Structure 1
Amino acid sequence: MDNISRRGLLTGVGALLAAGSLGVSTASARSLALPASKRFKMSATTNEFFRHKPLWGPRVMQSFAFDTPNNRLFAGQLRSETPENSGDLTLSQLDFSGNVLGHMYLTGFGHAVSIGAEAVGSTSYIWTETDADTTNGRGRQITRFPWQNGKTLTSASVTKWKPVSGASVYTPAVDQRFGRLGVRHARSDGMYINVYSLAAARTGDFSTVLASFKQPALTAGIDFQGWALYGSYCYFWEGEAYPGEPDETKATSKLWCYDINAGVLVDSFLTLAGKSLTYREPEGMAVYGSTDGTARLYFGFASGEPGDRRANLFYRNTLV
């Protein structure tokens, strides 16, 4: 997170500060429904993908996304040469061993709390926030652009959309398996997520909302660190950084699963994955897989010392 708190911005204008509990409905704040799907089990076996890998820049990984059909992985972070609230980002492309294959720079885009990837043939399109508000470094719109290694894009050079009038603090998530785009955004009374057809959204058509719900309260006072969509469920990731190896009795890294149709949190798990990592800040969440049999829910951690932060990925692959 690099000396910037998400509490005020990303847990929702004071509206989500009460601790949530499993089974508490938010039905009054949601609408519409999605075809029912399986969900990832939060307490399933933890699998390690890679550990302590450098990105293109030295700051913490904020988020990551998979282009499943093309077996590509992308990670987002704040650009090291510019102020935090500038909205300047670095994207790295990694192989599945965590080695950097390329990079892009995004000028004036946002904070990269969540990014998405979409395959169009052999081309990877990246979804991010853009049009950064320099008072807080968060994006006021969303965008989509093709991955181009070595390219620098400015917010003024990309097509931008504002799917919800009057909203702010946008972040996207792509559900490749089910062909949907999630758009997380701040309204006056908290954070909401709208779900759209990915095929429609890529043309700029946000007129049909497949589902809409207010983000449930998670753990009071703990930083929000990422989210993902898979079928009829939404996943949330929260936690604080440790200054060194963690005291297990003070662990805060927690996975949450929300049933969009029922409007309830149905599962959560306090994970000690990567507990020996130095710093160990939860950062980013994404889904990989083209079928239930190949599906994995990934969650990330930043590790390392200031000026030399590293990326770490773990995953669950048990569906129930």
Structure 2
Amino acid sequence: MDNLSRRGLLTGAGAILAAGSLGAPTASARPVRTAALPATKRFKMSATTNEFFRHKPLWGPRVMQSFAFDTPNNRLFTGQLRSETAENSGDITLSQLSFSGTVLGHMYLTGFGHAVSIGAQAVGSTSYIWTETDVDTANGRGRQICRFPWRNGATMTSSSVTKWKPVSNGSVFTPAVDQRFGRLGVRYALSDGMHINVYSLAAAAAGDYSTVLATFKQPSLTSGVPFQGWALYGSYAYFWEGSAYPGEPDETKANSKLWCYDINAGQIVDSFLTLAGKSLTYREAEGMAVYGSTDATARLFFGFASGVAGDRRANLFYRNDLV
């Protein structure tokens, strides 16, 4: 950690809350698009690395795929494949963790997807979770997105949630929530690669995807290196990539890289190959999310899985310098 205490990290106020009821999608043959997002600051990719927690078990021994913060309620959630089921079944385990990494609860999602990216949204004291859903068992990825309230100990099926497909000809959907600026990002595949649309979080929660605030094709990252997560903050998108160490820790094989994309300019503006957590066994880049209700409290978190097969653990680090 830097010189900001964990208590200080958790006391940001004034987050934008975007309430909305679940409902049927609003049809739009020709979505309205805005010209640009209001310009904001961006996280500096080469800033000092701060450790949040290291080598913590989740509710299940498989690799953490993603995580998300409910900033106003100071809650942390992680997503991973359920250990008792086949990889392409789309069965997901969600864990709720304390900010010191202790498991506080769990949910099971049956037939949802791979949990490449999840989001969290505060509506009063309730945390709503955004995930992919309606798994395509050919690839284990979700064909739609959904939103539901966190219910500790519950098991949900894909048929029990309201689903949305914001892009009719898209596939492999994943969400990311920008709580600070009240937006939802939706990443999806088209025939020419991955694309991202940005919507109002309140409108999306109500099933209205008729106005696209921004849309762009995901830029090319490092060829041959697995994509491991993404996040939104203001007028920037962030990407996270990296593969596991082959065997015991070997920092010379490290390829975990952070990327910053200026949505308005349509280009990568910063990147950094990080050696954070270089002593971890296995060390596979997994998951990215933003915490914070102001620039002063904002943190760009990125995660790693660690440990041995059958006993994988979660690790979180962050950047907090905005430029």
TM-score, length of structure 1 as denominator length: 0.90
Aligned residue number for residue 188 of structure 1? 191
- Contact preservation (8 Å) 1:32, 1:212: no
Counterpart-to-counterpart distance in 1, 2:53 and 2:210: 40
Aligned residue number for residue 85 of structure 1? 88
1:161 aligns with 2:164: yes
Aligned-pair distance for 1:250?
A: 2.5
Aligned residue number for residue 178 of structure 1? 181
Counterpart-to-counterpart distance in 2, 1:160 and 1:50: 34
* Of 120, 123, 126, the match for 1:120: 123
After superposition, residues 86-235 of structure 1 pair within 5 angstroms as 86-235=89-238
After superposition, residues 238-277 of structure 1 pair within 5 angstroms as 238-277=241-280
* Of 292, 295, 302, the match for 1:299: 302
Cα root mean square deviation, aligned: 1.0
Q: Secondary structure at the match of 1:283?
A: strand
Kindly provide the amino acid, as one letter, of the partner of residue 61 in structure 1: M
Counterpart-to-counterpart distance in 1, 2:247 and 2:46: 25
Structure 2 residue ranges without an equivalent (≥5): 1-32
Q: Secondary structure at the match of 1:285?
A: strand
Counterpart-to-counterpart distance in 2, 1:317 and 1:122: 26
- Contact preservation (8 Å) 1:286, 1:297: yes
Kindly provide the amino acid, as one letter, of the partner of residue 282 in structure 2: Y
Kindly provide the amino acid, as one letter, of the partner of residue 99 in structure 1: T
1:68 aligns with 2:71: yes
Aligned residues with identical type, % of pairs = 86
Q: Secondary structure at the match of 2:303?
A: strand
Aligned-pair distance for 1:33?
A: 1.3
Aligned-pair distance for 1:31?
A: 7.5
Counterpart-to-counterpart distance in 2, 1:232 and 1:160: 27
- Contact preservation (8 Å) 1:297, 1:316: yes
- Contact preservation (8 Å) 2:73, 2:125: yes
Kindly provide the amino acid, as one letter, of the partner of residue 306 in structure 1: A
* Of 45, 49, 68, the match for 2:48: 45
Residues paired across the two proteins, number: 291
Q: Secondary structure at the match of 1:143?
A: strand
* Of 251, 267, 282, the match for 1:279: 282
1:114-136 superposed Cα distances (whole Å, 9 cap, x missing partner): 00000000000000000000011
Kindly provide the amino acid, as one letter, of the partner of residue 231 in structure 2: A
- Contact preservation (8 Å) 1:58, 1:307: yes
Counterpart-to-counterpart distance in 2, 1:258 and 1:172: 17
TM-score, length of structure 2 as denominator length: 0.89
Indicate the larger mover: 285-294 or 242-251: 242-251
- Contact preservation (8 Å) 1:243, 1:278: no
Counterpart-to-counterpart distance in 2, 1:97 and 1:205: 37
- Structure 1 runs of 4+ off > 6 angstroms? none
Aligned-pair distance for 1:251?
A: 1.5
Counterpart-to-counterpart distance in 2, 1:280 and 1:195: 31
Counterpart-to-counterpart distance in 2, 1:85 and 1:36: 39
- Contact preservation (8 Å) 1:75, 1:93: yes
Aligned-pair distance for 1:245?
A: 4.0
Aligned-pair distance for 1:113?
A: 0.3
- Contact preservation (8 Å) 1:31, 1:213: no
Kindly provide the amino acid, as one letter, of the partner of residue 306 in structure 2: S
- Contact preservation (8 Å) 2:37, 2:214: yes
